[in-house]
Chains A and B, each alone.
Chain A
Amino acid sequence: MLVEAGHYALALALGLSLIQFIVPLWGARASDPVLMSVAPATGLAVFGCVAFSFLALTIAYVSSDFSVLNVVQNSHSAKPLIYKISGVWGNHEGSMLLWILILTLFGAVVALAKNSIPLRLQANTLAVQAAVTIAFLLFILLTSNPFTRVIPAAAEGQDLNPLLQDPGLAIHPPLLYIGYVGFSISFAFAIAALIDGRIDAVWARIVRPWTLGAWAFLTLGIAMGSYWAYYELGWGGWWFWDPVENASLMPWLAGTALVHSTVVMEKRDALKVWTILLAILTFSLSLLGTFLVRSGVLTSVHSFAVDPERGTFILGILILFIGGSLALFAWRAPMLKQGGLFAPVSREGALVLNNLFLATACATVLIGTLYPLALEVVTGDKISVGEPFFNLTFIPLVLPLLLLLPLGQTLAWKRGNFLGTAQRLYAVFGISILVTIALFAYEHGGPVAAPLGIGLGVYLVLGSLNEIVTRSWSKGTPLSVAWRKAANLPRSTWGTALAHAGVGLTVIGIAATAWGVEGLAAVKVGGSVKAGNYEARLERVVPRIEANFREDAAVFTILRNGQALGTLESMKRLYVTRGMPTTEAGIMTIGLGQVYASLGEVEADGSVGVRLYYKPLVLLIWIGSLIMALGGGISLTDRRLRIGAPVPAKTAPAAPVPAE
């Protein structure tokens, strides 16, 4: 019965969203605060309905109610509790419901922020947000109903796709969706500003935490997804330039640009129109990602269901929102007031450059992702655009961006001095070059990319932290004073430094993959496979039976130069209900590197194919991402008002350029 009530609540949420869309917009036009105040109330009510609905579905999963089709198709009574819960969003219908749950949750948070958001802006924002909710509620109710019943109830469920039976499923989608959907709030604020024709530093201050929060969660979500693919798929790779991964990378790149341009806007009241456009584009890319993943255009682990009707529906939503918002932008943006002026060499100038590089990088990923699809539609040829394309286009765009990053971070606002800035980075430059040379000398004849990349990473880490040092310490300052000064620096400064250092760590991790080694052999018990200095000796194969799968676990002893380091287990599983085999890689972490063993086919003579990798510093890729997100979070807690402290010009600035 709860299931039916949950379904009804979803239908009610649609009706309420319609009210939330119409009444506040009308109120804002008529300047009627009473009508506008309907927005927060309905925002909360819609969230209540959707949360109830989500709860009803979760209870159906936990209690294995096999009269619900969605539960039958994706659950099993013998499945561990955590996968029963995470299974709720391990399928198309449930994941869309999670999407809406987060969307309405954010709407409710905006609704609760009573005294910090001007009423008119709040009303318009919630109305725009309601429009997004309506579109997705219709999508769920009409094409992807999670509450479809089967009467009489099935005796047993068909189990969840084994690849998804992993703690990763409990973490990755919610993080990613918080990121995607968080940008919908930035989008709603941007459209509200366009509707009202007003945008200023107040707007930027309100939007900043949303953008930063969404960005931090998206960073975590992508990093988590990458690590999950790394250990679950058994290929030892962590990024494949797969269209589904690109679908999350594109909003991330645009979101990164947005985070930076909002800073300029809040501090200097400049770059307004561009920021609005970025907010629109970022959310559009999130929608595009949803379309690519959910429509069945692409086949991958993520495309739970292939259904042309759904694809068409999402394409409709996509065209409506992207087209509509860009049209509104074209119409209203010229009416916005222009912002402040700044010289080309300045923090603002550097941030504009950052935005240009990021936007271009995002465009190349977009082309690399959509071109094969378009080609297939037009000519029917299937091509795959993979690593070579992105290495040739994406990397050359990101490299200068990374090289300029510490410089930009060091430049002063409004008018900067390039030489002076470069001087402050001399030491950083020197150390990085020394590190690179030392690595070259040490490895003599190894891959060129690794030392260069690591040098770049070191430069980024030191360059980011350099700002903290130069702002708190100068020659002669006692360390205790410097330490206190550093601790008193604004949290946003620390956040910036940490996030940028995180980028550096990730770059080091990526560069070090060039040093990775692998070995492949078919081994019997007692035999071993080698990768570089590392060796895995197969000790025994143990069969096991768990509630919903059986597995053969191969136990290896890992040796480095003949010395045993410990044991590692790698599994081949068979999930009984779906009859689907999976490989569970065995991973041993040694410092920041990992030994990774994955099982292949079992040969007729009883030997097992084993692939062994040693990946030095590989953990830095994800640790760096975690630190990036942490930096975003720290910056987010800084609720100080940002004040641009312009230095009075000693000489007239050479040629101020308008912000837009």
Chain B
Amino acid sequence: MVIWIILLLMTAAAVMAVLWPLSRHRSLAAQQVDPDTQFYREQIAEIERDRERGALLASEAEAAKAEAGRRLLRATGVTAADAFAALGEPALRRRRAASTLALSVVPIIGLALYGAYGSPQLLTHPPEQQAREQGDRLDLMTAVTQIETHLAQHPQDGRGWEVVAPVYIRMGRIEDAVKAYASAVRYLGPSAERLANYGEAMVLAKDGLVSAEAQKAFEQSAQMDKAAFKARYYLAVAAEQDGKVDAAKKAYAEILDTSPEGAPWISVIRQRIASLGGEQPVAGQADEPQIGAADIARMVSGLAERLENQGGTPDEWARLIRSYAVLGQRDKAVATARRARQALAQDGAGLETIDAMSRELKLTDAAP
């Protein structure tokens, strides 16, 4: 509410800036000094001063004064002819018209442009929580900076890397998180949990794709600890992405069987199984509202339709291929790669993008 009052006051002040001079007609009608003639009067006075100081010879001063005098006469003539028409009916009408113009133009333009290009919806629903978040973020930032400074001096402090890595993930600096976990593994030695976290960071860095390198980390982790659920889960996802649906299903089922009662990942795994066409998840188990497989499928098919009909950038094609791979629909990924190659036949750099994506996803049979 306060903001509206402020905007109102601003508008009023702006309009007043125009109305105020229009209301002061009497005092202005006769300007005390006319700068035009004043100029030449001052000039003549200055010539006198210069002569007294000796800066000008008497003859020079006379000549200069004569010239200035001639110009003064000319200027006076102009001013006299320039009688101001400030009084009378036409002036009053002009003033009224100018006032009306100001009263309409200033608020209308202000509101129209602000309405069209500003964010007036924010005025009624201010994002209050932003201020609080800002405070938290600043604390976090100082902490991260401190750790980074420490790590720069002691790069072999694996524990430091392990502490900072999850913070990087929260801040969205995924690449840094991958490097941090890699350092943690290097200096603290491999452990099941560390390797699984390392792998997970790599998966995040690839938008959900389990790369060969990540898979290796997970395999190692699963070897070190049979009960490492995170590693086993991602290995199952990897199988799913490689198109080995049965193996994936089996792996998911195994995780479910060995999970302790009430483990937080159970609902996620049930959903994966369901998306692979396995048994339906038990109602009530999916306690968190997540983006369901159906939503994802809808988004992907939307993208596919758009690319098919209107074409798109190489990156969009690559995203669609990757989406299919992540969903485990390997056949469609291969088909899309072929389709993308046709669509981008004229675009050398685009083809390379597609090839790189195919290589990354191990879609060998999609090669031309």
Contact = CB atoms under 8 A, between A and B. Distances in A.
Interface residues of A, number: 75
A641 B46 contact: yes
B137 A643 contact: no
B18 A41 contact: yes
Given A19-B102, A200-B75, A41 B33 contact: no
B20 A41 contact: yes
Nearest to B42: A641
A35 B95 contact: yes
A443 interface: no
A489 B9 CA distance: 54
A77 B61 CA distance: 66
A139 to B, nearest CB: 12
Contacts of B109: 11-12, 14-15, 18
Interface stretch (A243-251, A539-547, A587-595): A539-547
Q: Which of A30, A38, A640 has the most CB of B within 10 A?
A: A38
A14 B43 contact: no
A482 to B, nearest CB: 15
B118 A35 contact: no
B39 A641 contact: yes
Nearest to B26: A34
A616 to B, nearest CB: 39
Interface in B106-156: 106-114, 117-120, 122-123, 126-127, 130, 133-134, 137-138, 141, 145, 148-149, 152
Contacts of B3: 1, 4-5
A450 to B, nearest CB: 42
Interface string A20-54: 00110011001111110110111011001100000
Given A547-B145, A641-B42, A12 B14 contact: yes
Contacts of A41: 17-18, 20-21
B95 A34 contact: yes
B98 A646 contact: no
Q: Which of B21, B61, B78, B101 has the most CB of A within 10 A?
A: B21
B7 interface: yes
Contacts of A64: 134
Interface stretch (B64-72, B288-296, B333-341, B342-350): B64-72
B171 to A, nearest CB: 7
Contacts of B127: 67, 151-153
Given A11-B109, A11-B118, A545 B149 contact: yes
B10 A9 contact: yes
A38 B22 contact: yes
A15 B114 contact: no
A645 B63 contact: yes
Interface in B204-238: none
Given A32-B86, A547-B145, A641-B43, A12 B106 contact: yes
A65 B127 CA distance: 12
A182 to B, nearest CB: 21
A38 B21 contact: yes
Given A11-B110, A35-B98, A77 B137 contact: yes
Contacts of B152: 543-545, 550
A310 B221 CA distance: 54
A48 to B, nearest CB: 8
Interface in A475-524: none
B36 interface: yes
A647 B59 CA distance: 8
A32 B83 CA distance: 9
B34 A32 contact: no
Contact of A37 (B6, B28, B68): B28
A115 interface: yes
Contacts of A35: 22, 94-95, 98
A79 to B, nearest CB: 11
A518 B112 CA distance: 61
A78 interface: yes
Given A34-B21, A115-B33, A545-B149, A19 B106 contact: yes
B46 A643 contact: yes
A118 B122 CA distance: 47
Nearest to B86: A33
B283 interface: no
Interface in A548-599: 550, 576
B110 A37 contact: no
Contacts of A67: 127, 130
Nearest to A122: B35
A22 B119 contact: no
A615 interface: no
A388 to B, nearest CB: 34
Given A8-B114, A12-B14, A16-B106, A201 B148 contact: no
Interface string A312-333: 0000000000000000000000
A120 interface: yes
B110 A12 contact: yes
A385 B98 CA distance: 53
A32 B36 contact: no
A38 B47 contact: no
Interface in B92-107: 94-95, 98, 101-102, 105-107
Given A8-B7, A48-B17, 6 more contacts: A8-B10, A37-B24, A115-B35, A148-B119, A153-B127, A644-B67
26 contacts: A7-B114, A7-B118, A8-B114, A12-B110, A14-B110, A18-B109, A26-B94, A31-B84, A34-B24, A34-B86, A35-B95, A35-B98, A38-B22, A38-B98, A41-B17, A42-B18, A77-B138, A115-B35, A145-B117, A148-B119, A149-B122, A153-B133, A643-B64, A645-B56, A645-B57, A646-B60
Interface of B: 2-3, 6-7, 10-11, 13-14, 17-18, 20-22, 24-25, 28-29, 31-36, 39, 42-43, 46-47, 50, 56-57, 59-61, 63-64, 67-68, 71, 75, 78, 82-86, 90-91, 94-95, 98, 101-102, 105-114, 117-120, 122-123, 126-127, 130, 133-134, 137-138, 141, 145, 148-149, 152, 171-172, 176
Interface of A: 1, 4-5, 7-9, 11-12, 14-16, 18-19, 22-23, 26-27, 30-35, 37-38, 40-42, 44-45, 48-49, 63-65, 67, 77-78, 115-120, 141-142, 145, 147-149, 151-153, 155-156, 198, 200-202, 205, 269, 543-545, 547, 550, 576, 640-641, 643-648
The 9 closest A-B CB pairs, nearest first, are A45-B17, A15-B109, A15-B106, A645-B60, A11-B113, A12-B110, A545-B152, A11-B114, A41-B21
